[in-house]
Amino acid sequence: MGQDAFMEPFSSMVAVFQCKIYLLLLGACSGLKVTVPSHTIHGIRGQALYLPVHYGFHTPASDIQIIWLFERPHTMPKYLLGSVNKSVVPDLEYQHKFTMMPPNASLLINPLQFTDEGNYIVKVNIQGNGTLSASQKIQVTVDDPVKKPVVQTHPSSGAVEYVGNMTLTCQVEGGTRLIYQWLRNGRPVHTSSTYSFSPQNNTLHIAPVTKEDIGNYSCLVKNPVSEMESDIIMPIIYYGPYGLQVNSDKGLKVGEVFTVDLGEAILFDCSADSYPPNIYSWIQRADNITYVIKHGPHLEVASEEVAQKTTDYVCCAYNNITGRRDETRFTVIITSIGLEKLAQKGKSLSPLACITGISLFLIISMCLLFLWKKYQPHKVIKQKLEGRPETEYRKAQTFSGHEDALDDFGIYEFVAFPDASGVPRMPSRPVPASDGVSGQDLHSTIYEVIQHIPAQQQDHPE
Ligand SMILES: *[C@@H]1O[C@H](CO)[C@@H](O)[C@H](O)[C@H]1NC(C)=O
Ligand SMILES: *[C@@H]1O[C@H](CO)[C@@H](O)[C@H](O)[C@H]1NC(C)=O
Ligand SMILES: *[C@@H]1O[C@H](CO)[C@@H](O)[C@H](O)[C@H]1NC(C)=O
Ligand SMILES: *[C@@H]1O[C@H](CO)[C@@H](O)[C@H](O)[C@H]1NC(C)=O
Ligand SMILES: *[C@@H]1O[C@H](CO)[C@@H](O)[C@H](O)[C@H]1NC(C)=O
Ligand SMILES: *[C@@H]1O[C@H](CO)[C@@H](O)[C@H](O)[C@H]1NC(C)=O
Ligand SMILES: *[C@@H]1O[C@H](CO)[C@@H](O)[C@H](O)[C@H]1NC(C)=O
Ligand SMILES: *[C@@H]1O[C@H](CO)[C@@H](O)[C@H](O)[C@H]1NC(C)=O
């Protein structure tokens, strides 16, 4: 506490010292500070406007005086009202218009008129140990709020691209100090080779119009107290046809050639970008003669009715406003149904099905081969070799025993027997032809295989 009591005169001395420096430098500061949040205030005509002011000071004061003055360019400043302590002394001319509640220095103007536009000066005087004085200036503007703008296009019926021009005019019924801005699809439009503005920017001139100028246009109007945007306008611009194309629901399209299966009806669709929509016509070419077969964007070709296998068509698109036309030529080839369908079915088999099929075939083949090998030769040999000398076929008995591969070793002989009852079966080759066999009836013959094993080879494994 003792320290505070000691510091107080010291700090006020510092304040006085600072103020003396400010006085020297600016001639304004004396421990009194007047501030305003904004040096420019935009008011709306007919409404109340409040001019806020704050002030503060460090010295003991006996009298607080506040004075408001109004000045307009090239005119004398006018006294509006003043106060000492809490008593207000208005200028009687304006006494109902301006209000102040001292010691609050803020001023209320009600109602605001266009004539109230100008600079408002507030001066605060503090009477204490000497007199402190400070002032501030606030600029006030008065405006009517913007009413909703309306855009009009000329010509309203639209313009043909590269030929016509278009003017968009923004009209506003009410509002002061209007600033116009044009927006296209929500973004500001700038001056370019085809866009130009009137001096006020309230008209936009497009010369010439192109397809790229199609969009959502609006006019944004601002003033210091408000802003309003017009409804969106889409200028009518005639263009096209562009990007003419023929497509089909069926058939294979390669370039300008459609391949269609015989018997299928196919629908062709002709399309091109244009405004207004094109008028389409279809032309068939046959034997150097062209004739229009249909109007409209769709053409159905029933392929069984087509006499030729290859037919040329032309789709023609015409824009009757721009007067431009475009056409595209295409060829329809009717293919026979059989090969195409088979090829498609072959293609449609899945690889898995193919693998399964091949595998099954291989397995069955191997089984059949095995079974044939196991039973068929054995049976035949067994049946046919009955009654033969034992020495001739003793090895053949073990023919089916494939456990030992060495058993299969040998020279195989193909033998034919004449099939006659009571005739003993004899190998044809070892028997000489003169040995009675030639004289016998050879009307049916049985064949068999005989294995010969060379003696040395037979003895070797044993
Ligand atoms: C203002 O108020 C102070 C103290 O409250 C007083 O001394 C002074 O006389 C007043 N001034 C007038 C003009 O009423
Ligand atoms: C002055 O009065 C206005 C309303 O009457 C109030 O909003 C404002 O805060 C006051 N200013 C001071 C410094 O008291
Ligand atoms: C008034 O100011 C004078 C000089 O500016 C100073 O000497 C004096 O102490 C001050 N009095 C008070 C009460 O502040
Ligand atoms: C469009 O504007 C251009 C340049 O401003 C002008 O030369 C032309 O005559 C205009 N065309 C029409 C149809 O108004
Ligand atoms: C223009 O506006 C319409 C509807 O108002 C909207 O459907 C369309 O997408 C807009 N176009 C663009 C380019 O923003
Ligand atoms: C018109 O608009 C352009 C840009 O769009 C701007 O630079 C110019 O200041 C505007 N003129 C007026 C009078 O508002
Ligand atoms: C088709 O007609 C043109 C002119 O019309 C002619 O020059 C051409 O020789 C004709 N071609 C055939 C194949 O007839
Ligand atoms: C263009 O074609 C449309 C539809 O076919 C028709 O309604 C319109 O009258 C035509 N316009 C002109 C200028 O020929």
Which atom of ligand 4 is nearest to 208's Cα?
A: 1
Distance, CA of 43 to CA of 6 (rounded, Å): 51
Q: How many CB atoms lie within 10 A of CB 64?
A: 20
Q: Is residue 355 part of a domain?
A: no
Tell which atom from ligand 8 comes closest to the C-alpha of 279. Answer: 5
The pLDDT, as a whole number, for residue 355 is: 56
Answer yes or no: do 125 and 43 share one domain.
Answer: yes
> Which uninterrupted H or E stretch holds 13?
helix 2-25
Report the C-alpha gap between 148 and 48 in whole angstroms: 23
One domain for residues 115 and 194: no
99 close to ligand 2 (CB < 6 Angstrom): no
Q: Residue 305: pLDDT band by 50, 70, 90 thresholds?
A: low
Q: How many CB atoms lie within 10 A of CB 322?
A: 20
Using 50, 70 and 90 to split pLDDT, how confident is the model at 409? low
Q: Decide the pairing of beta strands 257-261 and 325-335.
A: parallel
Confidence of residue 12 (pLDDT cuts 50, 70, 90): very low
372 belongs to a structural domain: no
104 lines ligand 2 (CB under 6 A): yes
Return the biggest CA–CA distance within the chain: 173
Of residues 306 and 148, more confidently modeled:
148
Tell me the two tokens of residue 428.
């044809």
Q: How far is the CA of 217 from the centre of ligand 8 (A)?
A: 27
Residue 62's alpha-carbon distances to 54, 58, 71, 101, 127, in angstroms, are 19, 13, 30, 18, 6
Residue 313 C-alpha to ligand 1 middle, in angstroms?
106
Check if 165 has its Cβ closer than 6 Å to any atom of ligand 4. Answer: yes
Pocket of ligand 5 (CB under 6 A): 185, 215-216, 232
Average pLDDT (348-372) is 61
Q: Which ligand is nearest to the CA of 286?
A: 7
Return the ligand number nearest the Cα of 128.
3
Whether 178 and 221 share a structural domain: yes
Residues 138 and 162 in one domain: no
Residue with CA closest to ligand 6 atom 13: 200
Residue 13 belongs to some domain of the structure: no
Residue span of the structural domain in which 214 resides: 150-235
Domain assignment present for 406: yes
Is the domain of 174 the same as that of 130? no
Q: Is there a contact between 67 and 116 (Cβ–Cβ < 8 Å)?
A: no
Q: Based on the domain organization, do 104 and 129 belong to the same domain?
A: yes
**pLDDT tops 70 at residue 388:** no
Ligand that lies nearest to the alpha carbon of residue 61, given by its number in the listed order: 1
Residue nearest to atom 10 of ligand 4 (CA): 165
Look at residue 175 and tell me whether its pLDDT is greater than 50.
yes
**Distance (Å, rounded) from C-alpha 294 to C-alpha 444?**
81
Domain boundary residue among 115, 143, 171? 143
Tell me how far apart the alpha carbons of residues 294 and 458 are, in angstroms, rounded to a whole number. 94
For ligand 8, atom 8, which residue shows the shortest CA distance?
320
Q: Give the model's pLDDT for residue 357.
A: 56
* Angle made by CA atoms 207, 211, 216, in degrees to the nearest 5: 90
Give the pLDDT score at 260: 79
Please name the helix (run of DSSP H) or strand (run of DSSP E) that holds residue 366, with its range, or none. helix 351-384
Helix (H) or strand (E) holding 359: helix 351-384
Sequence-ordered list of residues with C-beta below 8 angstroms from that of 95, at least 6 positions apart, any chain? 81
Atom of ligand 5 nearest to the CA of 185: 14
Q: What is d(CA 216, CA 237) in angstroms, rounded to the nearest whole number?
A: 12
198 Cβ below 6 A of ligand 6: no
How many domains would you assign to the chain?
Answer: 4
Nearest CA to ligand 5 atom 1: 216
| Band of residue 304 on the pLDDT scale cut at 50, 70, 90 | low
Q: What is the pLDDT of residue 95?
A: 84
Per the listing, tokens 């973004």 go with 187
How far from the centroid of its chain's Cα atoms is residue 452's Cα? 85
Helix or strand run (H / E) with residue 237: strand 237-248
CA distances, 235 to each of 93, 195, 202, 209, 302 (Å): 55, 14, 16, 10, 43
> Which pTM value belongs to this model?
0.65
pLDDT in tens, 418-449: 444 444 444 444 444 444 444 444 444 455 55
Is the CB of residue 248 less than 8 Å from the CB of residue 257? no
Regarding whether 326 and 249 lie in a shared domain, the answer is: yes
* pLDDT of 104: 94
Output the pLDDT for position 340: 45
Q: Which amino acid residue places its CA nearest to atom 7 of ligand 6? A: 190
Confidence at residue 285, expressed as pLDDT on a 0 to 100 scale? 82
Claim to verify: residue 279 and residue 191 sit in the same structural domain = no
Residue at 20 is within a domain = no
Task: Please report whether residue 350 resides in a domain.
Answer: no
Q: Which ligand is nearest to the CA of 233?
A: 5
Higher pLDDT, 136 or 10: 136
Percent of the chain with pLDDT over 70: 65
pLDDT of residue 356: 58
Would you call 115 helix, strand, or coil by DSSP?
helix
Check residue 112 and give its pLDDT. 96
Sign of CA dihedral 295, 300, 306, 310: positive
Residue 287 alpha carbon to ligand 7 centre in Å: 9
Is the predicted pLDDT of residue 169 greater than 70, yes or no? yes
Q: Give the per-residue pLDDT at 361.
A: 63
Which of 320, 322, 324, 325 for mutating ligand 8's site (highest number of atoms within 8 Å of CB)?
A: 320
Cis peptide before 199 (omega within 30 of 0): no
Asked if the model's pLDDT at residue 194 lies above 80, the reply is: yes
Q: Using CB atoms within 10 Å of the CB of residue 299, give its burial: 0 to 12 exposed, 13 to 18 middle, 19+ buried.
A: buried
Q: How far is the CA of 165 from the centre of ligand 4 (A)?
A: 6
Residue 208 lies in a domain: yes
Using the predicted structure, report yes or no on whether residue 144 has a pLDDT greater than 90. Answer: yes
Ligand whose nearest atom lies closest to the CA of 60: 3
Q: CATH number of the domain at 88, please.
A: 2.60.40.10
Within this chain, do residues 220 and 305 fall inside the same structural domain, yes or no? no
pLDDT at residue 379 above 70?
no
Tell me if 167 CB under 6 Å of ligand 4.
Answer: no
- Domain boundary pick from 188, 215, 235: 235
* Segment 28-52, tens digit of pLDDT: 445 899 999 999 999 999 999 999 9
Residues within 6 Å of ligand 1 by CB: 62-63, 84-85
**Residues 272 and 311 occupy one common structural domain:** yes
173 and 262 together in one domain: no
Side-chain half-sphere CA neighbours of 120 within 13 A? 30
Q: Which of 149, 219, 159, 162 is nearest to 189 (CA)?
A: 219
Q: From 220, 235, 250, give the residue that closes a domain.
A: 235
pLDDT mean over 238-245: 94
Atom 6 of ligand 8: nearest residue by CA position: 320
CB 311 within 8 A of CB 331: yes
Residues 107 and 211 in one domain: no
Domain annotation covers residue 356: no
